[in-house]
Amino acid sequence: MNKKHISLPCAWLSLQNAEIQLESVAAKWAADLKCDPNIVREEIRHLLLQKATVPFNEPIGEKFVNVSEINLELRQRYGSLPYRAAHHRIEPEKDRRG
């Protein structure tokens, strides 16, 4: 059985892992913007789904999002917030190889 090994740069995060972070990221943006966290969460979820892609345009497979692209879009959409808010963003997965 020949399996392809796909190595993605650290700037990519699986859509599933991005959705795990969604609640805390949306809550922080909503608090800083003083708006409904449910609305912000749905806007960010829509953005993640819109930007999610399968590597190499394969017809099937796990979807990923570009962390830098998502964070840039969040800053453009919600504005540049103070330093503390800038640290509440979607984070790339840590390299588990050590």
- Per-residue pLDDT tens digits for 42-95: 999 999 999 999 987 777 889 999 998 998 899 888 886 554 444 455 565 554
pLDDT of residue 97: 46
Domain ranges of the chain: 12-86
Q: In whole angstroms, how far apart are CA 74 and each of 3, 80, 96?
A: 36, 9, 27
**What tokens were used for 85?**
């808010």
**What tokens were used for 83?**
């330093």
pLDDT of residue 84: 42
**Is 1 in contact with 73 (CB distance < 8 Å)?**
no
Task: Give residue 46's Cα distance to chain centre.
Answer: 11
Confidence band for 96, pLDDT divided at 50, 70 and 90: very low
Whether pLDDT at 39 is above 90: yes
pLDDT of residue 98: 44
Q: Which amino acid is at 67?
A: V
Closest to 68 in 3D by CA, of 8, 13, 4: 13
Q: For the full predicted model, state whether its pTM sits above 0.85.
A: no
